[in-house]
Structure 1
Amino acid sequence: MLSEVNFPRKIQSFIRRQGRLTAGQQHALDNLWAVYGLDPNIDVDFSEVFGRNAPLCVEIGFGNGESLAKMAAANPDIDYIGIEVHRPGVGHLLMLLAEKNLTNVRIYCHDAIEILEKRVPDDSLSGVHLFFPDPWPKKKHHKRRIVQPGFTELLCRKLKAEGYFHAASDWQHYAEQMLTVLSEQKRLENASPSADYCPRPDYRPLTKFEQRGIKLGHGVWDLIFRKL
């Protein structure tokens, strides 16, 4: 059990900005959730859910799902659990999964920390992805950032040996904080030869937002740590 000192249970790393659902997103939620959605209140055997034993990766906060759908299409031998609290993004990903006829993705619309704690078995994940999380830029809100010591303890419980955690951020200060926190976790090892940031691996697609930022000269920092 994570302590309130390391990872305060009452503090959320997200705000539910539901936004307006398009007709297509609402239709997908109404008709495709039964195919791809998972109930956060029920334990499941992921090998039964996917009908096979395959490497399992979790993406925390997949946004509109574009990157997750691309990864799943490019890596059919890997199963993915996407976790997102915003229903428009969930609806958009459902549309993409049906359009691409992808069978290796399932979705939770819930708090990722609760899903990891309660529904994901220990030592079961090959990878955990956290791409462009909310940076909470104001200093008084830094405590809401998801990457904290308690989170790294949770990662180490859920990852298999040699499993990896991959984070990416376009906020340098947050990237620096993540690097410090992850480096302090003795059960994680930085995959970067220079012990800082990694080049973007081919499996992480460039998002439209990221491409726009790069054209404007904005930096992006990728961190990859493996469980010892």
Structure 2
Amino acid sequence: MRRLLHGLTHLNRGLERCLHWLLLALLFGFIALIVYQIVSRNLPLMPRLYWTEEFSRFAFQWMIMLGTAIGVLHADHFVLEAFPRGSRASLVTRWIRDLSCLAVGLIFVIHGKDFALSGLRREATASGLSMIYVYSAFSVSGLLIILFSAQRLLHALLDGVPRMEASLDTPDAVEEALEAHAGHGDELDPSLSSTDGRTP
């Protein structure tokens, strides 16, 4: 099991590195296409390329789906703390959270396959691009979510949820600030109080 976790961690680290570069490329492409659309509407000399609107929309869809997968790996999605951290109820809900992400990934892969294949029968209006390249975003995202959720669950099974979260979760800036403040204690500035114990 430990060897499986090591291999999965190594694989996911490489996938995450590739996803970061791919997401950067999609973001810059998205911005460039949007800027071109704005400029071409105001400068008659520039040709109106209608496919830029489609490609910017497709890039945005892929960014959402791939970013969702990375969010699962680091628990960056929206989380509502319903129970005190460290309680048994909190531990159970965190297990449910990661198992639910795994279930969503499975749904994306199973049903996303048919959705992607339906794109073979459809083409984008302006560019003529086969829609399978757009519809397959769900299947790809689902596969990544499964891999990332499996790493989290296996890590939690072997080392416990707190150690897994400390290793994988994105640090909470607010929580870190509160812990740092608690470590310094509630020291009062002497200049804020007078000698008789009353504030000026």
Tell me, yes or no, whether TM beats 0.5. no
Taking structure 1 as the reference length, the TM-score comes to: 0.21
Instruction: Specify which structure has the higher proportion of helix.
Output: 2
Higher relative strand content: 1
TM-score, normalized by length of structure 2?
0.24
Structure 1 or 2, whichever has the larger Rg, is 2
